[in-house]
Amino acid sequence: MSTVRVAQGLQRRRLVGAAVLAPLVCTGVTWSNPAHAGAQLEEPLADSVRSALSSAIANRAPPIPEFATTEERLFYLRWLGTQSGRLQRRKADLLERTEFLQTVWYESRRAGLDVSLVLGLIQVESAFRKFAISVAGARGYMQVMPFWTRVIGDGDPSRLFHMQTNLRFGCVILRHYLDRERGDLFMGLGRYNGSRGQSAYPEAVFSARRSWEFQAPVASG
Q: Which residue has the higher pLDDT, 134 or 48?
A: 134
- Of 107-111, 150-154, 184-188, the poorest mean pLDDT is in 150-154
Task: Answer yes or no: are the C-beta atoms of 24 and 31 closer than 8 Å.
Answer: yes
Q: What is the pLDDT of residues 53-63, one digit of tens each?
A: 898 888 777 78
For the chain, how far is it from start to end, CA to CA, in angstroms? 66
Q: 145: pLDDT confidence band, cut at 50, 70 and 90?
A: very high
Report the amino acid identity of residue 140: G
What three-state secondary structure class fits 69? coil
Burial of 57 (0-12, 13-18, 19+ CB in 10 A): buried
99, amino acid identity: E
Residue with more model confidence, 33 or 113: 113
Q: Please tell me the chain's helix, strand, coil percentages from 3-state DSSP, rounded to the nearest 5.
A: 60, 0, 40
d(CA 201, CA 203): 5
The pLDDT score that the predictor gives to residue 82 is 97
Residue-wise pLDDT for 90-109, tens only, equals 999 999 999 999 999 999 99
Provide mean pLDDT across the span 7-22.
Answer: 38
pLDDT band (50, 70, 90) for residue 40: confident
